[in-house]
Structure 1
């Protein structure tokens, strides 16, 4: 069992247990949800129920009595709050004043209740009608060049809404369709597409019932996907070994008390998870995996030398891969000295982990943003794929690649066309279906959008959910430039910081939340989402909407399109609003292989599988085979070590989902009352002459001319590798340079930011 380092702040309990129950209770007491919230939770993530608006973890066909986790319950209760943010609130507060409020206090005003437009003279949002909003948006959009307008999606909107949103953007004339994947898992989409032909994971949820080992990189299930703890627990109990590679000691990967197990709840005796917990340096995963590869090759040599079967699956390599021999030569030639230096791990530990992998018949590689949010994150993913290919661990039961996605439908949005890359969308089919010529020019990523805001080339921003300005790097550059746009449109459920930065024309459009009933002309509507395992699930809300004035996200998108004059015999925005089944029919027409019989299959227990060719060992790569890649570095960091330089990891608390903050508790790390902390190990504290509780600043040390700093951070001793510090997202986003991103995907490199500590005010 991995233990907390002596003298550090930590949580002595387990993930789950009474702490999880208490966390849900605190949110329930604060939000005072309306009647029916308990019924929503009972049916959450179950067939013909409501699909959680939090993470994208899979929904099993055979469910627990309660198929929600702490964060899923918080998200639902947050949506179903009694609090209301009415037009009267904005009559009492200017946007200038509200910008002085904390982000938490803004969202705690409750659900938005009526469409609003920005009145510059009064510096306030004022109520307007939906028709006024749609006409005003259309009037502002029509004179603009299509390439100057951005259609951003947060990753939560349904498949139906996302498909129509992408269609609206392309009818307008651009592929500027960045989404939250650009900030987190775009590295996966780019790297895995290149090496195995699939931009998404190859596993199904049931693979965790058959795996013998799990290699776990840079993801925290206790905070980000707590329902994952159940299959991990089941796997460990049947003998599966979990090897964790993570700079941060996360309780969710160490021990778990199942809140649905009465015996565990009474005894509080946890299930111990990690067979080995290796605190790799930030960016050190390439080197760590190279160490595993190197020892697996040595084990294979030894086995064959002893006349035994080899450890490496040579038949698989010969039939299904390309580049093995060159990569093998590179691994053999890489020194253990370099591997240890870049990984921060001992050779003996890496060899022990490699032996677990070599003995396991079936292995799953799980990873999260600790891998993807690095300058060389794509190379890290390539290395993990290399390791998995060596033993044929892609394309069979109980094995494969398992990137853990965040937003509940971020993977699905890409599936149905929200992409800045035109080559990933069947544009010829869309042209035939809808009678217009979709644009072919590559659109903007999130980083491109930010650069366009700064230089003034982006003139309008339409946001389908999210809190874009708060989530991006170099926020202190973006915020002052944001209001120079001609138009900003925010589709949202609650007030957040981005909404306080209006363009010359600005509209705040409130929508119903997923747990709420969506009633249109043909009756109550259902929507669909895709989970991390490529399964499609129907979802239906049954709660009364927070206001009679609310419209669904789909209805808002169609209202804008209709006001733009885009309706025709083929673009049937009003009909699609009336009946979402018609939208699913056109999705199936655009994507016949993935969505055949869409309406008939949407309520399949456990979701219906849209397929993954890599799982079938059909490699949709340029060579037609799975590709070994040879990294040109052993560190994923973009800026290396230097005297006095640290590398910052930005993290989320367990009282948080992305930029939404539910409270000031980070129970699973033992931190309470504030988010302005600097986590650092005791040895580094001594070297830097810091004391616990001291208030310091972090300043950027990326080597460019831009001054970046965040002040008011409380020094907190924490179990981290030497040279590594930690703090919270999004508070520390100003330290992440806009140019500091994965080389292939432009995903911000927020897990290895070069910084220095200043004890004087920055």
Structure 2
């Protein structure tokens, strides 16, 4: 912990180590998982094995003995539980009653075992046959305007299923294909595309073996991508310096004990990870990055004036970039006092960090939702690109920009067509392959879809996985509006809160888990996913399905499509369901440069690389060059400071993955037994007259007329910057206005929510 905050909650141990082992064992014992789970874990993230459904971190060609992390193991154990949520459960409990249960208790009922239809007369889900469900869904979709339907994908479904889901949507007549990227990294897709021409990161896993420094912004590997800790530890041990910018002192960026090392486990010897840990204020990253760039430019000028070589990579800038002069003018004009005020860091701290950047040759910029989930998040990402471009740190070994993605295939779904932006999809190729005219208009983002549910322009919602209603902003308003939909369909493996708000016709369809054996007419099927580094991996499930009545996600998508669309000789849903290799052939025909020899390559160690133009210094921007950009603000917040106003950061505990709650402890922050906590620094507690454990409410302070409130939060002292609060996602989503999102991508601004504290 920070020495200045010794009276705060915290965790004295390192990330990993025995704490991680105990966390996995606790979930294993509670879920009554079968011994076969151990065999699945032994194959997890390995060639010819099973690809984890947790984060999208890369899978090395030469894996560790245990190539899974605490959260990855919890995810596998969670889906292979012996508990079953059978039709008898729904006969006993009405939907209205279940709305009073918390997220943890809902998912702890176990695996869904049979397709269900909502009966509004009794307020219960009742069993239905698969054919009955498909016929009902098809009738419901045909009864509404296709433009009023939304097909949402959570980020877990395979590439094969995702391709067919997007194809189904376009054959039906719309591009309303938001996915979970809209809630987290759509800012990346928009921001990086604009300045370097690539909607995804440029790094490869091996770049972390060659970098000299990592500038790390707003991402917590200890909770969200623990396998990332291995390359971070290795980088530090060979001399790489990690400079961390994060409002929260995350243990995963401070100390790490490698569970793969018997010596470290026996001795408890931890690796100190961050060379500098700078607790930037929420929304202060643009200002902090401007300070770094300002100092780099000053050092360059001083050295050149002294007759020494400058520090900028002028050849790279001249050959590959545009806009450097305007950016230099803006950086030189930026006021140090204003930079310090906005980011909450001192000039000396920023200059010290910038000196690290100047002194090393190869730098990677890593970031997560601490950058993306702001009103001006796109500009935050562009500023990080500015820093990297100054010294040519994109498009060479050991350097680049590396957003850390969440769900295991969230990037891949966009790759194969799940996008509301038609210009990102080869529609002409689809028209040729399948003899239809795909719609060319822009579809709905997540925010647009939610607004459509409220105003009635959206009438049907198909959810391919996920817990959409729980994950989105303005939760109370959305739950009230959701039951007004004409049709809702949820494809899932366990019960969650979104399923408790069915439309007038509602279906809950249980599917196979990725770890389970998927037998079709063509035999056992394999699927594939894409990681954050644009590598494609095959995955084979071998576990016995939780119920004989389960269908694969792909089979469910095909069944809905067959029941909805007219017959067509080129629309071979039965054939595609029988052999997923046929679907991969279609993907390869649609994206020949990236997916040639798809099935033959998907099981090669380390996956196959689909390529990235910016990695090769080919810039697919409007100018054909990488773009320096000038921010129009130093704060990424949409609502600024005011007396009594705080800015709330929504966070995940180490005992959850997205909206899935594995338990009520947060070991890495020293919090036990509850998620209804309000994290606040002791100085702010004293100023507000608060005491530890006191129950308070948070009230939205975004300036609109809506009343947003969350009560029953226990005041918990924590090491945070002044004016910053922390609380858990998704509980805090009720406080986020639907309109409060990144200006360009519409990603909800969950990392700087304006609120006030009300003492109950």
- The TM-score normalised by the length of structure 1 is 0.99
Residues 292 and 353 in structure 2, CA contact (< 8 A), matched pair in contact too: yes
Aligned residues: 760
Aligned to 2:536: 536
Instruction: Give the equivalent residue in structure 2 for 1:256.
Output: 256
- Bigger drift between 4-13 and 127-136 goes to 4-13
Separation in structure 2 between the aligned mates of residue 648 and residue 525 of structure 1, nearest angstrom: 45
**What secondary structure does 1:671 align onto?**
coil
Counterpart secondary structure, 2:755: strand
User: C-alpha displacement at 1:306, in angstroms?
Assistant: 2.7
CA displacement at 1:143 relative to structure 2: 1.6
Tell me the residue number matched to 1:628: 628
Name the CA distance, whole Å, in 2 between partners of 1:97 and 1:39.
38
Give the corresponding residue for 2:555.
Answer: 555
Give a deviation string over 1:514-556, Cα, whole Å, max 9, x none: 0000010010000000000000000000000000000000000
Distance 1:4 1:57, change over 3 A: farther
Cα distance in 2 for partners of 1:301, 1:137 equals 66
Q: Structure 1 stretches of 5 or more lacking a match?
A: none
Matches within 5 A, 1:354-393: 354-393=354-393
Partner in structure 1 of residue 223 of structure 2: 223
> How many Å apart are 1:417 and its aligned residue?
0.2
Q: C-alpha separation between the residues in 2 aligned to 1:637 and 1:99?
A: 33
Match of 1:97 in 2: 97
1:740 maps to which residue? 740
Residue 75 (structure 1) aligns with: 75
Aligned 1:153-172 pairs, distance under 5 A: 153-172=153-172
1:308 Cα deviation (Å)?
2.0
**2:196 paired residue number:** 196
Structure-1 residue corresponding to 2:123: 123
Q: What is the CA-CA distance between 1:4 and the residue it aligns to?
A: 7.3
* 8 A Cα contact 2:558 2:577, kept in partner: yes
Query: Structure 1 CA distance, aligned partners of 2:318 and 2:35?
Result: 61
Cα distance in structure 1, aligned partners of 2:641 and 2:566: 54
Corresponding residue SS for 1:648: strand
The Cα shift of 1:205 comes to: 0.3
Q: Deviation string for 1:114-157 (max 9, x for gaps)?
A: 01111111111111110000001011110210110000000000
Match of 1:604 in 2: 604
SS at match of 1:664: coil
Any conservation in 2 of the 1:4–1:10 contact (CA below 8 Å)? no
1:618-697 matches, cutoff 5 A: 618-697=618-697
Tell me how far apart the structure 1 counterparts of residues 460 and 449 of structure 2 sit (CA, whole Å).
10
| SS of 1:665 mapped into structure 2 | coil
SS in 1 for 2:5: coil
- What is the CA-CA distance between 1:310 and the residue it aligns to? 1.0
Q: Aligned partners of 1:124, 1:260: CA distance in 2, in Å?
A: 48
* Partner residue in 1 for 2:522: 522
Q: How does 1:231-380 map to 2 (within 5 A)?
A: 231-380=231-380
Distance 1:360 1:2, change over 3 A: farther
Identify which range, 29-38 or 512-521, moves more after superposition: 29-38
- How many Å separate the matches in 1 of 2:724 and 2:2? 19
8 A Cα contact 1:153 1:179, kept in partner: yes
Cα shift readout 1:56-113 (whole Å, capped 9, x = no counterpart)? 0000001100000000000000010000000011111110111111111000000000
Q: Secondary structure at the match of 1:623?
A: coil
Give me the whole-angstrom Cα distance separating, in 2, the residues matched to 1:657 and 1:62.
26
Aligned to 1:137: 137
Q: Which residue of 1 aligns with 2:450?
A: 450
Contact kept, 8 Å, 1:2 with 1:276, in 2: the verdict is: no
SS of the aligned residue for 2:479 comes to helix
In 1, Cα distance between the equivalents of 2:101 and 2:644? Answer: 34
CA contact (8 A) 1:5 1:719 kept: yes
Task: Compute the displacement of 1:189 (Å).
Answer: 0.1
Cα distance in 2 for residues equivalent to 1:170 and 1:613: 27
Distance 1:294 1:569, change over 3 A: same
| Residue 309 of structure 1, CA deviation | 1.6
Q: State yes or no: 1:148 paired with 2:136.
A: no
Which is worse superposed, 315-324 or 118-127?
118-127
Larger displacement relative to structure 2 (227-236 or 565-574): 565-574
What is the rounded CA distance, in whole Å, between the counterparts of 1:722 and 1:756 in structure 2? 14
Deviation, structure 1 residue 305: 2.4
TM normalised by structure 2 equals: 0.99
Check whether the contact 2:2–2:719 (CA below 8 A) recurs between aligned residues.
no
Task: Check the 8 A contact 1:654/1:666 in 2, yes or no.
Answer: yes
Structure 1 stretches of 4+ with a deviation exceeding 3 A read 1-4
Contact 1:647 1:723 in 2 (8 A): yes
Say whether the 8 Å CA contact 2:171–2:565 is kept in structure 1.
Answer: no
Q: Distance in 2 between matches of 1:671 and 1:598?
A: 46
Q: CA RMSD in A?
A: 0.8
Q: 1:480 to 1:271 in 2, by over 3 A?
A: same
Supply the distance in 1 between the matched residues of 2:655 and 2:227 (Cα, whole angstroms): 16
CA contact (8 A) 1:221 1:228 kept: yes
Query: Is 1:397 aligned to residue 397 of structure 2?
Result: yes
What is aligned with 2:463?
Answer: 463
1:545 corresponds in structure 2 to 545
Instruction: List alignment gaps of at least 5 residues for structure 2.
Output: none
State yes or no: 1:568 paired with 2:568: yes
Asked whether the 8 Å contact 1:203–1:402 carries over to 2, the reply is: yes
Distance 2:298 2:549 in 1: 67
Alignment partner of 2:499: what SS? helix
State the match for 1:54 in structure 2: 54
Q: Give the Cα–Cα distance (whole angstroms) in 1 for the partners of residues 442 and 265 of structure 2.
A: 53
* 8 Å Cα contact 2:257-2:264 kept in structure 1: yes
For the residue of structure 1 that corresponds to 2:59, the secondary structure is coil
